[in-house]
Homo-oligomer: A and B are copies of this chain.
Amino acid sequence: MPRILRLAAAQMGPNQRADTRETILARMIALLEEAAGKGAKFVVFPELAFTTFFPRWLIEGAELDQYYEREMPNPRVQPLFDRARELGVGFYVGYAELTPQGQRFNSAISTGPDGSILAKYRKVHLPGSVEPRPGDRFQQLEKRYFEYGDLGFPAFRGAPDWGAPVMGMLVCNDRRWPEAWRVYALQGVELMVMGYNSAAYDPNGGSTENEEIRTFHSTLAAQSNAYMNATWAVSVAKAGNEDGSGLIGGSVIVDPNGVIVAQAGTLGDEVLVADCDLDLTRQGKEKMFNFEAHRRPEHYRRIVEQVGAKPPA
C-alpha cells in the first residue's frame, strides 16, 4: 500500500518585537488552516516561531525571559494546539524552552493528529557566541541564551495514519551539519523536519556572505543531506525584515533524490504543500546508500575522537 503523506511548510514572515502573542498566533493558525484546507496532515513551522529572533540583542532579566515557554503547551500557545487537534493535523514548531530547573534550550516539538506531543528536540549546533561583538548592531548570542541540546538526535515514529514514517527534527544551523542528518539516517529516517531563522547577512561578523549566498547555502544543505540520507526533508524559514534585521526565506520541501518539489517565493507568510511518497526513500536506502553494505566506520573515527580540525604538519 503506498505511503503518501501530504506535508505542508508554513513559512512565516517576520515577528516584530512589538507584535503581541495574539497577533502571531492568529497568523500561525491561519497558516495551519490553509495547510489543512489543502489536505496537509503535518505542518512545519519555523524555529522560534512564537517570537522575534531575540538572540540578535544583548538583553537580560524579564526582557529576555518573556521569550521563553515554561511548558509546552501552555496558555500562550494553547489556541494553536486546540485548532490543530480540531483539524486533525500534526505540526512541528520551534520555541525557546525554559525548564523548571532553569535550563534554557532552543527547542522544537512535533505533535500528532490528536494534539499530543510525539517528540521533543533541543538544538545541538548552537551558532554564534556567548559575548557580544563590540559595536555590532545585531548580534548572534545563541550560545549565551541557550545550552547545547542534551537529547541527541532521537528519531521517532509519526502517526500510523501518516504511514508511521520514521521522523527526525533539527533546528536551523543543525541542518548544515552532516553528522546530525547521518545520526538520524542511522535510525532509518524517512522525513526530516526543521525550521530556521537565518540572517540575510553574515551573522558572525564577516563581510563575504549576503542574502543570495546564504539562501543558496540553506537550500543546498537541505537538498544534499536529503539525498545523501535518502529522506524527505521540509526546511522552513521565518523570513523577511524582523526588527530591522533581514532573514532569508527559501523554505523548501525536498524529495529523497535531493530535488526540490515545493519552494517559497516570498519572504512572508506562505504555505507550501506536497504529496510525499515515503517509499521513494527505498531506492536510496536499499541501493546507493545501503549503509550495511557500504559504510566503513573503522575509517570514520576522527568524527567522534576529535572536535576541532588538526591539520598535518
Q: Which residues of A contact B (CB under 8 A)?
A: 124-127, 148-149, 152-153, 155-157, 166, 173, 176-183, 185-188, 202, 204-206, 208-209, 213, 216-217, 220-221, 223-225, 227-228, 257-259, 283, 285, 287-292, 294-297, 299-313
Residues in B with CB closer than 8 Å to A155 are 311-312
Residues in B with CB closer than 8 Å to A290 are 308
Are the C-beta atoms of A179 and B300 separated by less than 8 Å?
yes
Q: How far is the CB of A227 from chain B (nearest CB, A)?
A: 6
Contact of A309 among B126, B188, B221, B303 (CB under 8 A): B188
Q: How far is the CB of A145 from chain B (nearest CB, A)?
A: 16
Given the contacts A217-B257, A227-B220, A257-B213, A292 and B311 also touching, CB distance less than 8 Å: no
Q: How far is the CB of A126 from chain B (nearest CB, A)?
A: 7
Alpha-carbon distance A162/B185, docked complex (angstroms): 38
Residues in B with CB closer than 8 Å to A206 are 283, 287
Residue in A216, A225, A294, A306 whose Cβ sees the most chain B Cβ within 10 Å: A294
Q: How far is the CB of A40 from chain B (nearest CB, A)?
A: 24
Are the C-beta atoms of A183 and B302 separated by less than 8 Å?
yes
Residues in B with CB closer than 8 Å to A152 are 299
Alpha-carbon distance A126/B309, docked complex (angstroms): 27
Given the contacts A220-B224, A299-B152, A303-B179, A310 and B125 also touching, CB distance less than 8 Å: no
Residues in B with CB closer than 8 Å to A186 are 302-303, 306, 308-310
Residues in B with CB closer than 8 Å to A296 are 124-125, 148-149
Alpha-carbon distance A294/B258, docked complex (angstroms): 26
- The 4 tightest CB contacts between A and B, nearest first, are A292-B308, A224-B224, A188-B311, A178-B178
Residues in B with CB closer than 8 Å to A213 are 257, 259
Alpha-carbon distance A202/B228, docked complex (angstroms): 16
Are the C-beta atoms of B179 and A182 separated by less than 8 Å?
yes
Residues in B with CB closer than 8 Å to A220 are 220, 223-224, 227, 258
Alpha-carbon distance A303/B179, docked complex (angstroms): 8
Are the C-beta atoms of A182 and B178 separated by less than 8 Å?
yes
Residues in B with CB closer than 8 Å to A126 are 294
Alpha-carbon distance A224/B178, docked complex (angstroms): 10
Residue in A126, A179, A187, A297 whose Cβ sees the most chain B Cβ within 10 Å: A179
Residues in B with CB closer than 8 Å to A187 are 302, 309-312
